[in-house]
Structure 1
């Protein structure tokens, strides 16, 4: 018997309730209870009868437990046919106890623990009415040692990690194409896909392999940006969807795995977040977490320690023999070396600042995985690529990738040393 659902109610009470015209059922019940409590019915008479349970909702309706022994919380709400919530003691059950088990439960809550990989259903029932929720237990592959060149995939192939063997890490967060129904489109944020940036990152990998005999680490999100934005913190990136949250965690974790490997193998390295922009000027935009106002400064003002402390290449700047302004836009800056390969970039010697034009300074990934924090040994740069002549065709992507590979090799030689730059592979053309 549900708590609060009792038999009885005086005739006088029912008449009073019937005279309340145009009111919703829940309000009529509330008025009846108020009259009963105030003595409007027979003294000591029973409470008015409430309707029975029509539905039970289990919340969340679908969720994910990651790893054997992981846990998830559920709650249930019983409702009448008019949608009014009523209290009561629910009975919880798991469809397949070999996948998950209930470890604790209350009148309307339950804690469920994952036992083994698979999909099952969690149910809550009262008075013969039952509600269910989908539960998946996902156990990631345990990798003792990542093998360079092999692709590793997260849950449902939403995220891919290709380990490398040089001191460069590439990520492509916004070039995916997968549209799984289990992840709804995000209500907020930007949904525009950075077209062909996934292919561009892979072309850059191939070009570095051809040039040096070694490969960078590559992390790719295969989800369209409307489903997940891995270049945002998790709340905005996934909007609470458990499957999108898992993909976000995989993407971020594999960047950290790659950075850790680079730090262990080479002591320091470079992280590049690969994007595409639609601005009017056809040039690469190199983001160091510094805005237009910063880059529009003179070299002397740009060289101040206060500015250096706010950049994603802070550690590189502190260790470099070059002035910071020269590291950003001098001949041996990444922009300068790209310019030498006939790839227009800002900042660079020919284009030292964006002026009043739109410019992307770098986002979440550059901030989290660069060397903004003191002591981080892997510095980071966001590269925004224009479309025409760079991302638009396979031929142009490969031509750009070859130029970028030569610029990156020279940058690594200049600022990180021969070992990190992949010396020992093929000679540059």
Structure 2
């Protein structure tokens, strides 16, 4: 891969990332659930959190025996197969075709050990080493956002990259739930500054109209996307609206969580899928005056 020499290793090799000073564009790629490494000395999150009988809240401590409470489960599924370097391939395509090097951060520790897309307690189970890793991952994102605010006047896009096994469709998460999309409630999104810039008189246009990312995925032949011009409502389909990263950073930058489908990706030559995905992203950013 072209980009391999541009990465550094994060805390204890728990993630890898592109050096901040090498990036030359206002795009951030984050892949928090791509990791397959399982360090033996880090406790598993699979035990779940603990809910005391008197409380409706879960607490997350790796050494909590939870004797008088009930366990609350956490998700520990890995999004991408261990040999699947999807985010690296996208990065290479940006370089090869457009001479752009985004900010990129990719998890290497497995979700059984840490979840970079959750609030810190549930993410780390309050283990000192996972706290260290988690803070380093998010410091990288914070710094990338800061650089974009400085260099590109805050115009930019953070893309949180995931994959799901729910069916043959892509989910575009901008904080709007399936219920909200189904009921045409397009209130608070994670792309407010994009909407202000590009669709000030018609939010729908940027969220699921002709300028929406889902529409560009579809027009580039990447199968069904929710929401988009042709598929504005997920209806009864399972739909993920975006997680911690989408919520946490959306006050400072446009954030979109793309949930790719195993099923759809398997229909393509991997290289072709990557090309189409990046082409769709570039077109989306251009039409919304985001690409710098």
- SS of 2:30's partner is strand
CA distance in 1, matches of 2:199, 2:162: 30
Q: Is 1:403 paired with 2:276? A: yes
CA RMSD of aligned residues (A): 2.1
CA distance in 2, matches of 1:350, 1:228: 37
Provide the residue aligned with 1:313 in structure 2: 191
CA distance in 2, matches of 1:417, 1:282: 29
Q: How far apart are 1:211 and its partner, in Å? A: 2.1
Q: How far apart are 1:294 and its partner, in Å? A: 1.2
CA distance in 1, matches of 2:273, 2:81: 13
Provide the residue aligned with 2:56 in structure 1: none
Q: How far apart are 1:149 and its partner, in Å? A: 6.2
Checking the alignment, whether the CA contact within 8 Å between 1:269 and 1:416 is kept in structure 2 is no
Alignment counterpart, residue 288 of structure 2, candidates 415, 420, 428: 415
Q: How far apart are 1:417 and its partner, in Å? A: 4.8
CA distance in 2, matches of 1:151, 1:417: 25
Q: How far apart are 1:380 and its partner, in Å? A: 0.2
The one-character-per-residue Cα deviations of 1:340-388 (angstroms, maximum 9, x if unpaired) are 1011211011111100111000000001122xx3xx2x20000111112
Provide the residue aligned with 1:330 in structure 2: 209
Checking the alignment, whether the CA contact within 8 Å between 1:291 and 1:361 is kept in structure 2 is yes
Q: How far apart are 1:319 and its partner, in Å? A: 2.3
Q: Is 1:168 paired with 2:53? A: no
CA distance in 2, matches of 1:249, 1:282: 35
Alignment counterpart, residue 157 of structure 2, candidates 270, 295, 299: 270
Aligned residues: 257
Provide the residue aligned with 1:114 in structure 2: none
Larger radius of gyration: 1
TM-score by length of 1: 0.57
The one-character-per-residue Cα deviations of 1:75-126 (angstroms, maximum 9, x if unpaired) are xxxxxxxxxxxxxxxxxxxxxxxxxxxxxxxxxxxxxxxxxxxxxxxxxxxx
Residues 232-311 of structure 1 aligned to structure 2 (within 5 Å)? 232-267=118-153, 268-279=155-166, 281-298=167-184, 302=186, 307=187, 310-311=188-189
Gaps of 5+ in 1: 1-147, 421-429
- SS of 1:388's partner is helix
Gaps of 5+ in 2: 49-73
Checking the alignment, whether the CA contact within 8 Å between 1:173 and 1:220 is kept in structure 2 is yes
CA distance in 2, matches of 1:271, 1:417: 12
Q: Is 1:217 paired with 2:103? A: yes
Checking the alignment, whether the CA contact within 8 Å between 1:209 and 1:215 is kept in structure 2 is yes
Write out the 4+ residue segments of structure 1 that deviate beyond 4 Å after TM superposition: none
Greater percentage in helix? 2
CA distance in 2, matches of 1:149, 1:316: 32
CA distance in 1, matches of 2:179, 2:98: 37
Q: Is 1:384 paired with 2:259? A: yes
Alignment counterpart, residue 182 of structure 1, candidates 41, 44, 56: 41
The one-character-per-residue Cα deviations of 1:188-226 (angstroms, maximum 9, x if unpaired) are 211111024961111111111222111211111100100
Describe the shift of the 1:293–1:272 C-alpha distance in structure 2 as closer, same or farther (beyond 3 A). same
CA distance in 2, matches of 1:185, 1:166: 37
